Amino acid sequence: MIYTFGLFFTIDVFSDEENEANGEFQNAEWTDGMCPNLQVVRLTGVLCSSNEMCFIQLLLSKATVLRIMSINLGYGSLKSSEDALRELITYRRASPHAQIFFDGV
């Protein structure tokens, strides 16, 4: 399933079960471990607003099987690439296998 938030966020959810993509998160995916099947997250055009950074921090702290998070800063980012990366590496990761791929402007 692929969920898209506005123009910037795409989250790929992989599951062993066949689910219908209906544009809404199913309750089971957001409870008992929040997104237990979330493995790949692609974030493009990130401006580093406090809401975006909190969302990234939340995903990293709750997605227990996350493998890859790819973050691409957008033009007009509120933080420099160095500052954004410095903040990102402080976030706790629920998945020991989570890798963050970061592409600054």
| More confidently predicted of 84 and 27 | 84
Question: For residue 12, what pLDDT band results from cuts at 50, 70 and 90?
Answer: low
Question: Has residue 89 been placed in a domain?
Answer: yes
Range of the domain at 52: 44-105
| 89-99 pLDDT per residue, tens | 999 999 999 99
Domain count, the chain: 1
- Indicate whether 83 belongs to any domain: yes
d(CA 85, CA 11): 20
Residues 39-90 have pLDDT tens digits of 889 998 889 998 899 999 999 999 999 999 999 988 888 999 999 999 999 9
Query: What is the three-class DSSP state of 48?
Result: coil
pTM of the predicted structure, to 2 decimals: 0.71
Residue 29 belongs to some domain of the structure:
no
Residue 18 lies in a domain: no
Note whether residue 35 is domain-resident: no
Which tokens sit at 20?
A: 């219908």
